[in-house]
Structure 1
Amino acid sequence: MKKQNWVIELARFIESRRNVPFAWHENDCCTFVADAILLITGIDAAAPYRGHYTTATGAYRALRKYGDGTIAGAWSACFEEIPVSDLGRGDVALVNVNGLPASALLMGNKLWAVSKTGLITLPVTEAIKAWRVE
């Protein structure tokens, strides 16, 4: 269940990460979204993965070891998949960033994702899959 004032806290969180560059396990696509979810719900969706990777290869190994080997599978293990047309504030989406699958978070009318230089926004129409965060 989302905490009281979660929208304000999520907006502050996004602002705090706006210029933080991509870094495996510190601010990658999944930890960015998982950190936001932890803040607004108290649920740590990344708990099985934290401390188990520091590189791209390590991240993919962790996905295989603790999940089905995919980012989508990791989110499906934690949250209910919903049609992308039902995405709401604070929900998770799977998108493509530079041709690779990545996690994003819906806030306002934009999907927020991590890039090499900080956060980027994508239109909601870029969502491939979606999960409800309650």
Structure 2
Amino acid sequence: MTGVDLAAPYRGRYTTERGGIRILRKDGYRDHVALAAAHLRARDAGERAVPGDLAVIPTETGPALGVVQGANVYVLGPDRLALKPVLSATTVFEVL
């Protein structure tokens, strides 16, 4: 959507979440959320999330990035796609 593929340098270089985090850390990012934060503008607390934005959703295993769609966020879990309320997001990144 932005014209920049943030995942291109990482695609095909890992097979597990742990392996992906290891590669991100070698590039100076704490995790996938830090990668998004380095390239996308976080919306201010008073701004509304709009469809297509990325939202950080807390999960049992750590933060997940999901795609905002109306009042919900689509988040990929370990075994399925889930819908979480956008109001549960800790951060929203603007995607233009």
User: Shorter-normalised TM-score: what interval?
Assistant: 0.7 to 0.9
How far is the alpha carbon of 1:84 from its aligned partner?
4.8
TM-score (norm 1): 0.63
CA–CA distance in 2 between the matches of 1:85 and 1:50?
34
TM-score (norm 2): 0.84
Alignment partner, residue 32 of structure 2: 71
Return closer, same or farther for 1:84/1:118 CA change in 2, 3 Å cut-off: farther
Structure 2 unpaired stretches of 5+: none
What is the CA RMSD across the aligned residues, in angstroms? 1.7
CA–CA distance in 2 between the matches of 1:61 and 1:132?
26
Alignment partner, residue 48 of structure 1: 9
CA–CA distance in 2 between the matches of 1:107 and 1:60?
26
Structure 1 unpaired stretches of 5+: 1-39
* Contact map agreement 2:58 2:64 (CA 8 A) in 1: yes
Following superposition, which runs of at least 4 residues in structure 1 exceed 4 angstroms of deviation? none
One-letter identity of the residue aligned with 2:90: I
CA–CA distance in 1 between the matches of 2:45 and 2:14?
29
How far is the alpha carbon of 1:113 from its aligned partner?
0.2
Equivalences, count: 95
* Contact map agreement 2:41 2:94 (CA 8 A) in 1: yes
Alignment partner, residue 55 of structure 2: 93
Alignment match of 1:121 (pick from 71, 83, 89): 83
Identity of aligned residues (%): 32
SS at match of 2:39: coil
One-letter identity of the residue aligned with 1:111: V
Return closer, same or farther for 1:130/1:67 CA change in 2, 3 Å cut-off: farther
Could you report, residue by residue, the CA deviation over 1:111-132 in whole angstroms, capped at 9, with x for unpaired residues? 1100233210001111011110
* Contact map agreement 2:52 2:68 (CA 8 A) in 1: yes
CA–CA distance in 1 between the matches of 2:61 and 2:19?
20
1:5-24 equivalences under 5 Å are: none
Alignment partner, residue 11 of structure 1: none
SS at match of 2:42: strand
